[in-house]
Amino acid sequence: MSYNRRDTIRLALAGGGTLAGGALLPQAPADAAGAAAEAGGAPLWRPGVEGQRRADLGNGTYRNPVLAGDRPDPNVLKDGEDYYAAFSSFLYYPGAPIWHSRDLVNWTPLAAAVTMPIGSIWALDIAKVGDTYYIYIPALDDADPARPLKTYVVHAPSMAGPWSDPIDLHLDGMIDPGHAIGEDGGRYLFFNGGNRVRLSDDGLSAAGAVSHVYDGWPIPEDWIIEGFALEGPKITRHGGWFYMFSGQGGTAGPPTSHMVVVARSHSIDGPWENCLHNPIVRTASREEPWWSRGHATALEGPDGRWWLVYHGYENGLRTLGRQMLLEPMEWTADGWPGATGGDLGRPLSMPGAGGGDHGQALSGFAPDAIGTRLTFWAPRSGYLDRARIADGALTLSTQGTGPADASPLLFVAGDRSYEIEVEVAIEGDTQAGLLLFYNEKLFCGLGLGTERLHAWRIGQEERWPPGAPIDAPRLFLRLVMEENVVTFLHSPDGRRWTKERSYEVGGYNHNVADGFLSLRPGFYAAGQGRATFRGLTYRALADVEDVVRA
C-alpha cells in the first residue's frame, strides 16, 4: 500500500485515522526506514523517539542531519571517549545548549551553560584545559550602545555544570572565538576576520593586544556568495601542523554561499598557508540536498577516522534553521584535509558502533524541561520565575500584550512535518496559545482569549475574518505542519476538531527576517493573569519520500 502527502495531512487533521466524514485512513508504517528498504531505496531517515528523525539507520550507516532542527554554528569537543557539542543560542534562554555523544551520530541533551541574559549569543567555542571546561561566548547586547558586542567566558568542572556566571573578557567587536594552545603552551583566542589575542594562563582574561594574523582564502569573483565573511576559526593540531578551519562566503544568502576553507602553519604565530584544495566543503548547486554548508570543526572519531562537523540548511526548508551535519574526511599525502562525503545525499558509514540513545521526547512537561528543551525568547531578568512545571502541567505567568512581547517559551522541532496538540486554560484577563515563532515581528499562531480566539499571521492579528468567538476558559489547540504549510485547529474536548485556518510559512526564515534564527513551536501567555498548558503531545509525520521509494 502506498501513502501520499494528502493522506498524511488528512490523517493528522482527523486525529488518529478517522476523517470528519467517517472515512477510515490507513496508518503509515511504524518503521519508515524498513518500509523504504522493502521498496528497494535507501531510507531518508529512521524514526526515533516520537517518530522524530534519527540519522543512525541501524545498519552501520547514517544519513544527515545527525542532529535535526536548529543547531547553528556547532562546536564539538573530543574529551576521551566523549563528544560534547554546543551551539549558538541567540536570544533563546537558558542559552548555550550542550549535547553529548559517544559516536558523533547519536546525541542527547546535557545542559545549558548560560541562564543570565547577556544578549544574543553567537558562535561559541568549547575548550578543556587541565580539569576545567571553558566556553568562550560572543554576545550582541543592543541595550549597551557603548559596547554592543562583547566576549564572555564561562567555566565548570564538568560539561554538565555547574557553570560559572559569564566573565567579561573585555574583547569587543569580534565574533566566533576559537580557542587554541600554541607550541609554547600559551592559550589563544582566534576570531573572525583573521584576528587573534593571547589569553592569560587561567583563560579568564586577555594577556595582550588583538592582532591580525590571517587574510583568508581569495574567493573567485564569479562565485555566487553572500559576502567574504571570514569567520568561525577552529584550530586543530595534527602531524606537526596547526590547521585553521574557517567559514567563508556568508552563513546564509544564496544556497552556494557558505564554505569551509583551511590554512596551516608550523607555528601558532603563523605564517598561515592556504590549502591548495580550498574550499574543502561547499554547496556548489542549489539542487543539492544541503545548502550553505560551513562553520566546521575537525576531530578524530571513535573509529580513528577524521570527521568534519558543521551546519547547513536543508534544501527548501530554511525554516528549520541550520542543522548539524557530519562528513568524513581524510588526510592527503601532502598533509591537507579532504572531505569525502560528497553532497551528503546518501548514507555514509558510521564512525562508531551506534545504536545508543538519540534526541529527546518533545511531548509532556518534564520537571527539567526548561533549559534542556524549552527556552524563553528574549527574556527579562527573573524570567525563570514565570514558569512552573508540576504534575505534568506548565503554568506560565503573563507578560506583554500579545506574542510579540510575551517572551514565549519555545522548542526546536527537527522534522519536516509534525503535529502538536496541547490543552490551554486561562485565568484572569489572559490570552494564551500555540505559536510558530521566528521573532517578535514574524510569527503565526492561535490563542485563547476571554471572548474569542486570536489568530496571528506574519506577526499581526488577523481581523478579516477575526478569530472565532469562544466562551470558555479552556480549549484544546492543535498545530499540523506539513513542509512549511501549517494548519491550526481547536476543540472543546480534544475529540471534535474545528479547523481555524492554514498558512504557508516558508518565508519565515533568515533570508527574509534576518537574525539567523529558525521557526520554532511554543507557547505564550499575555495580558494580566496566567495560563496552564497540559497534555502536550508531539508526533512526527512521515512524508511520502521518507516512507516509500516508488
The answer to whether the peptide bond before residue 72 is cis (omega within 30 degrees of 0) is: no
Domains of the chain (ranges, CATH numbers): 53-348 (2.115.10.20), 369-545 (2.60.120.200)
The pTM of the whole model exceeds 0.75: yes
Please give the pLDDT value at position 310.
98
Residue 410 near residue 536 (C-beta atoms within 8 A)? no
Please give the pLDDT value at position 543.
56
Per-residue pLDDT at 423 exceeds 60? yes
- Distance from C-alpha of 201 to C-alpha of 222, rounded to nearest angstrom: 45
469-517 tens-digit pLDDT: 998 999 999 999 999 999 999 999 999 999 999 999 999 999 999 999 9
Please give the pLDDT value at position 44.
81
Please give the pLDDT value at position 43.
77
174-211 tens-digit pLDDT: 999 999 999 999 999 999 999 999 999 999 999 999 99
Per-residue pLDDT at 41 exceeds 80? no
Listed range (187-201, 393-407, 412-426, 530-544) with the worst mean pLDDT: 530-544
Residue 431 near residue 448 (C-beta atoms within 8 A)? yes
296: helix, strand or coil: strand
Residue 44 near residue 512 (C-beta atoms within 8 A)? no
In 132-258, beta strands by DSSP E: 132-140, 149-156, 167-168, 178-181, 187-191, 195-199, 211-212, 231-238, 241-248
Percent of the chain at pLDDT > 90 equals: 88
- Distance from C-alpha of 511 to C-alpha of 340, rounded to nearest angstrom: 29
In 72-131, beta strands by DSSP E: 75-79, 82-86, 92-93, 95-101, 107-114, 120-121, 125-129
220-237 tens-digit pLDDT: 999 999 999 999 999 999
- Distance from C-alpha of 417 to C-alpha of 547, rounded to nearest angstrom: 13
Of 123, 164, 119, 137, the residue nearest 379 (C-alpha)? 119
The mean pLDDT of 93-117, rounded to a whole number, is 98
Please give the pLDDT value at position 135.
98
Q: Report the Cα–Cα distance between both ends of the chain, in Å, rounded.
A: 11
292-318 tens-digit pLDDT: 999 999 999 999 999 999 999 999 999
